[in-house]
Chain A
């Protein structure tokens, strides 16, 4: 469904991604781990189309409804409309824009693009309420300004709410499990698990295996210095948490 081929990317001439290859098929869950600064967030931002990054090499092919599309040619909003989603490591606060207003605008834009009729505001409220119940989110979230003054955990839940509303095909969730208390972790973990379907794929960027108690991965990748240096199964995540990255990094350098 998504093929990342030999992608290199830089900021102001400084190379951050140095030839990434990753193939993601429908129904799969991938985990990306790696030390701080190894390029995990950069990779997801490159997929989402952040304007700070120049792609110096490679391509990203998005295969949807039997059509192959070149993701790098699309504006970020078009990628989102095509079904690409990124859960931000640091969700942005936008004062004065209400959470609901924003969600409805996003939802309607996506409907329009996909040729589906707009939902009227009342129906949308019901639709939203259903998603929020399912994520155990209180109503008070929805009338507040977008992410403004949300606690770290509330912001992450809000990211998952957006994912639930937009039902994307490919979701990069960048440290969505960081900063969550045990109960929130369970809610978010179970939420992600419910959003996982046979026709979509999820990429979890994380430092810990604890989220994997709720969402079972098919592959675990390790990133280091802008490259994927190792790919394994779920057990790799436990391994890393116990022994750190040292041996993997050494191995890759030989």
Chain B
């Protein structure tokens, strides 16, 4: 199967502004196959020890939900999506309340190819963590795999939850199009962590959130490098007092390409949002930050802040950073800023003058740069998890 055969208007995606610097036409003529059913291979215990950090763990292998490998917990309702369609049709229906974001390309791709998905609901206020692992198996196939899993998450009224989404793969070539839909009911809180550290393949991910009254959404996103990686986050602050706080790190190297798309839609009064994105770029890699804030006319007294900082560890790397503000309300507080800079020479010299070699000084300073975002992660084991990934990135500096 070729993508172009299933998506006839494939080339049109680039008409959307958000694809200006990201070209995926290389996928057009590639052959892919989709895995249809639950695998018979259990994840081994070493992997579990290393990667399972949630109270509940939902495992997808090559895009297919693997109930056998998952771990359940009483705080969470977890159901395969096709069963949830039958059991909670009105819930699933309501997940379509999430408005469409400006670019629907990834969402549509996911729908076209989606074979498997999961429905999750959190009702309690217990501080439990659910983890979703998207794993590409270490098995050779003649034709690369296309995976297109879908997650629908409900945070019930007054609930409190942490949600970790990790993407890892042993495969050399693949295309993955994971989409997560999140609905936060009144007074609920969600801490969302998304860690993408596949080494290879093409990743086109998306997360959409609909926030109702007085909800809090805290996100931390990490995009480690692979040849082509893109994540779109769309947050709809749909009712008053909805609040969102997004921090992110992306770290690129080689000739890789990392694309960060964030859109926050202030649709009601007294809503707040903050975006804090930090990028590290090595070698001849490219990264994109496209941060959009839209404030509707009714969304008076909204507050929004956006900051994107980039550390260029090579002068051959390229960053495209673009804030996009569309503000129709008059009583709002919005600020934004973007910087990109080399390592600070004075900082390096100071460290060197105390006997720290240049290599270690560079690592210390880059680590310090990333820590400003990483320190916002409250759960220590998730922080460690990302720290370890970053350490190996710094190790190669």
Q: Which residues of A contact B (CB under 8 A)?
A: 48-52, 75-77, 79-81, 85-86, 88, 91-92, 94-97, 102, 105-107, 109-110, 113, 162, 166
Contacts and interface: CB of A to CB of B under 8 A. Distances in A.
Interface of B: 345-347, 349-358, 360-361, 364-365, 367-369, 371-372, 375
Contact of A88 (B350, B364, B367, B369): B350
A77 B350 contact: no
B368 A77 contact: no
B372 A95 contact: yes
Nearest to A163: B354
Given A94-B347, A94-B368, A96-B369, A80 B352 contact: yes
Contacts of B368: 94-97
Given A95-B368, A96-B372, A97-B368, A49 B345 contact: no
A95 B371 CA distance: 9
A105 B359 CA distance: 13
Contacts of B360: 105, 109
Given A77-B352, A86-B353, A105-B364, 6 more contacts: A52-B345, A75-B358, A76-B353, A94-B350, A94-B351, A102-B356
Contact of B354 (A52, A80, A96, A113): A80
Contacts of B349: 48, 50-51, 76, 92
Contacts of A91: 350
A110 B364 contact: no
B355 A166 contact: yes
Contact of B353 (A80, A94, A95, A96): A80
A76 B361 CA distance: 12
Contacts of A49: 352-353
Nearest to B374: A96
Nearest to A106: B354
A51 B361 CA distance: 15
21 contacts: A52-B345, A75-B352, A75-B358, A77-B361, A79-B353, A86-B353, A88-B353, A94-B347, A94-B364, A95-B368, A95-B372, A96-B367, A97-B364, A97-B365, A102-B351, A102-B354, A102-B356, A105-B364, A107-B355, A109-B357, A166-B355
B23 to A, nearest CB: 35
A77 B357 contact: yes
A163 B365 CA distance: 22
B350 A80 contact: no
Contacts of A75: 352, 357-358
